[in-house]
Chains A and B, each alone.
Chain A
Amino acid sequence: MRSSLRTGVHTTGGLRTDERTTSGAANGGAPLRIVVASGKGGTGKTTVATSLALSLAAHAARPPHFLDCDVEAPNAHLSLFGAAAVGQPVAWAQREDVPILIPQVDAAKCTACGKCAEVCEYHAIVVLGKKTLVFPQLCHGCGSCTLVCPEGAISETPRAIGVLEASMTGDGIPFARGLLNVGEPMATPVIRQLKKWAMPAEGVTILDAPPGTSCPVVEAARGADYLLLVTEPTPFGLHDLRLAAAVAAELGIPAGVIINRDGIGDAGVEQFCANVGLPVLMRIPFERAIAEGIARGRTLIDIHPEYASQLREMVAQIAASVQE
């Protein structure tokens, strides 16, 4: 599975473009779900993910879907909706609340036996004397308390913790994102719901994952065909890349690396990738023109149009490798 991608490594210096192969892979058919993740924040996940989607949209009969799973701070729409998104909110075509089910205790039926409190992993329901108290913000909505209550005193009511929003971009990319309500501690249910709501059964989907390596990232990556790890060649990038690569291994998802800000730092990332057999699929140089463009809200392929074909070629290689 990795062998063809290794070839990709060696050709990254000057990836040749073959539009026929590329559009073949990016068009409809079997689903190809690529999750862009990093471990470390600020490495360029969204920069890569959005340009990846735009480059595919420009050349495929059916543009890829895009899911912004960074629900604590989703900002991919700024790049994908272009000027319309800067300074004013996107007019979402579809919106839907993300509820979790919170227990509600019928005091008349409750005998304060404490079974619900015992089963709750998150101490979201506690029994104090004769009172059973629910802490909605601690509740993960698992429903265990309802199941174990011998009196049938617990019912469940939905409580919104975030919202899902979707619209078509000007480039024809079906875009959806999750947004966690401010002050809510749990991102995972929003990501899970977003994927249920907007993930197509076929074709290419690009998912922009949140930073980190814990539950939200795992939820975004679950079921992916490929994990694209964006990193930078610094000790910090390497440290977090190790963790992200471990997540990919744990989930059994093939992964490859994009080195952003190539040219800074040291050779640690390169060595690590070689040692563990992680293919380096692309290098984006540390360059003033890119930094200035991104700082003004431009996309990578707007700054360097030649990257579009490289990105398409990369997706074609990924598609070929996962279909093997």
Chain B
Amino acid sequence: MKIAITAAAPQLAAAVDPRFGRGAYFVIVEDTNPPTWQAHENAAVNAAGGAGSQAAQVVAQQGAEAVISGDFGPNAYLALAAAEIKMYLLGDSKTVAEALANFKAGSLTQVHAPTGEGHHGGRA
């Protein structure tokens, strides 16, 4: 199973990025033993609007079945839900590796509704 985690840098040891649509990188981990991973720069970071829907599309194209991030706005939520990708909150996870470990331990909260209000065209 592939899991996408929003990260500040393209590494397993990198700090997590709490934003989904405008997170810097997606680290996509294949849950094998040992795990393999790939990092993707998030092209939606500077999108004028629709960062959430665009980021969801990227994650779906990478074949991720779950996403771990700090916040899922209404557009991101709708898009990820439509792609049947499960969403989890980072909780206390500080790094990508920690988030992965917490996910495997089953200690992350799954999201069943948008967690933010959306940002409409980059407004705060």
Chain A residues in contact with chain B, CB under 8 A? 117, 120-124, 126-129, 131, 133, 135, 137-138, 185-186
Q: Given A123, A124, A133, A186, which contacts B51 in the complex, CB threshold below 8 Å?
A: A123
Not counting A123-B44, A128-B83, A137-B120, a sample of 14 additional A-B residue pairs whose C-beta atoms are within 8 angstroms of each other reads A122-B50, A123-B47, A123-B51, A123-B53, A124-B53, A129-B60, A129-B83, A133-B78, A133-B79, A133-B82, A135-B50, A185-B49, A185-B121, A186-B121
A82 to B39, CA, bound (A): 62
Residues B58-108 near A (CB distance < 8 A): 60, 75, 78-79, 82-84
- Total of A-B residue pairs, C-beta within 8 Å: 54
Chain B residues closer than 8 Å to A127, beta-carbon distance: 57
- A129–B57 Cα distance when bound, in Å, is 9
Interchain residue pairs A-B with the least CB separation, the first 7: A123-B50, A128-B83, A185-B120, A123-B54, A126-B57, A138-B50, A128-B60
Shortest CB-to-CB span from B70 to chain A, Å, is 20
Q: Are B82 and A122 neighbours in the complex by a CB distance under 8 Å?
A: no
* Assembled-state Cα–Cα distance A13/B84 (Å): 70
Contacts of A126 in B (CB 8 A): 53-54, 56-57, 79
Q: Contact mask B13-54 → A, CB, 8 Å, 1/0?
A: 000000000000000000000000000000010011111011
On chain A, the residues within 8 Å of B79 by CB distance are: 126, 128, 133, 135
Which residues of B are found within 8 Å of A128, using beta-carbon distances? 56-57, 60, 79, 82-83
Cα–Cα distance between A215 and B84 once the two chains are bound (Å): 37
CB-defined contacts of B54 to chain A, threshold 8 Å: 123, 126
Residue from the list B49, B56, B78 in contact with A122, Cβ < 8 A? B49
Least CB distance from B79 to A in Å reads: 6
